Amino acid sequence: MDILTIKEFLKENLDKLYGDFSTYEPLLRVSASKVVIIGDLHGDVNTLLRIIERFPPSNWAYIMLGDYVDRGEHQIETLYLALRLFLEYRAVLLRGNHESPLTNYEYGFYMELLRKFGPYDGDSLYDKLKDLFSQMPISAILNDKYFLVHGGLPINNVSIDSIAKLPKPDEVPSNEVTFQLLWNDPSDDVKYYEPNIVRGPGTYVFGSALTENFLSSSGLKMIIRGHEYTPQGYKWNHGGKVLTIFSSRAGPYSGTKPHIAVINNDSLSIIDVS
Ligand SMILES: [Mn+2]
C-alpha cells in the first residue's frame, strides 16, 4: 500500500468524510442479513485485508467496532482501508477510545503520521483526523437485536434514546456517558459496577444487572463490543449476553488469534481470521 497514495486520499477526502460523519447521530440503526463485525485492529492491516478477501464487502455489510489506530505497525493503512470501506460500501465505522487525542499522542498514531507523512503534513492531517474522530458514531443497533459499541455500558442506566442524543462533536470525549461507552468493560465479578482499576479514572466495569436492565428496557438481545484484548480473540460475559470480539495481532497482541463475529440470516458465528 503506497503511503503517498494514502496521503493524497486523505487530503482529498477528509472534508467530505467530516461532512458525512457529522450527519450521523451517535446511535445508528442498521438492518442487514449478512454482516461482518470487526473488533479492535490497532494497525493490523493484514488481518483487515484477509477479512476483506474472505468476506467481500460487496456481499457483506461491515460494522467496525473502533480502535483502528495506535499500537500496531500499519495504523495509517488500517484507517485508510476502513475509510475506503465507508466511502465505497457504507461500512459502519464506530468510534473506539483510541480515536482520540487522549491516546494518539501517547500510543503511536500521531508519531506514525509524522514519520510516514513528514512533520508538516503529518501534523496538519492529524488536526483533521481528530476532528473526524470527534464526529464518528458511538454505537449502533443491528436488526433490532444487537447493541454494538466499542467499550460497554455506562453506569447510570442510560436509555437508547439518551444515547441517540449524546453531544457530537466531542473531541476527548468529555461527555461522561460517551466516555464510558468507549472505555468500560464487562465483569462477571460485580453485579452493578465498580471503578475500572486497570483503565483508570472515569472508567468502570459493569456487571450483569446493568446488562439485564439495559437489554430488557431497550428490547435488545445482546451487546457486541471490542476494546478488551483476549488471547483467543473473543470472550463471553454475563451468561452469553455480552460478546467481546478482538481482531488484532499487531504490536503487543502478536500471540492473539484474531476473530470476527459474522451474522448470516439471523445466525451468529464467531470466526477465526488468523
Ligand atoms: Mn479500546
User: Tens-of-pLDDT digits for all 274 residues of the chain?
Assistant: 899 999 999 999 999 999 999 999 999 999 999 999 999 999 999 999 999 999 999 999 999 999 999 999 999 999 999 999 999 999 999 999 999 999 999 999 999 999 999 999 999 999 999 999 999 999 999 999 999 999 999 998 899 999 999 999 999 999 999 999 999 999 999 999 999 999 999 999 999 999 999 999 999 999 999 999 999 999 999 999 999 999 999 989 999 999 999 999 999 999 999 9
pLDDT confidence of residue 207:
98
For CA atoms 172, 140, 268, 144, give the dihedral sign: positive
Q: Is residue 183 part of a domain?
A: yes
pLDDT confidence of residue 126:
98
Q: Is residue 66 part of a domain?
A: yes
Q: Which residues are catalytic?
A: 98
Q: Is residue 38 part of a domain?
A: yes
CA of 70 to the centre of ligand 1 (A): 10
Which residues constitute the domain of residue 218?
9-272
Cα separations (Å) of 6 from 2, 75, 79, 113, 233?
7, 12, 10, 11, 29
Structural domain count of the chain: 1
Q: Is residue 229 part of a domain?
A: yes
pLDDT confidence of residue 1:
85
pLDDT confidence of residue 141:
98
Cα separations (Å) of 148 from 77, 102, 157, 177?
24, 22, 16, 15
Asked if residues 215 and 130 have their Cβ atoms less than 8 Å apart, the reply is no
pLDDT confidence of residue 157:
81
C-alpha cell of residue 126: 492529524
Give CA–CA dist 163/137, Å, rounded.
11
Query: How many residues would you count in the chain?
Result: 274
Report residues near ion ligand 1: CB below 5 Å. 67, 96-97, 227
- The pTM assigned to this predicted structure is 0.98
CA of 96 to the centre of ligand 1 (A): 6
For CA atoms 158, 163, 164, 169, give the dihedral sign: positive
Q: What is the CATH number of the domain that holds 234?
A: 3.60.21.10
Q: Is residue 4 part of a domain?
A: no
CA of 226 to the centre of ligand 1 (A): 7
Q: Is residue 2 part of a domain?
A: no
CA of 249 to the centre of ligand 1 (A): 14
pLDDT confidence of residue 121:
97
Asked if residues 37 and 261 have their Cβ atoms less than 8 Å apart, the reply is yes
CA of 78 to the centre of ligand 1 (A): 15
CA of 101 to the centre of ligand 1 (A): 13
Q: Is residue 237 part of a domain?
A: yes
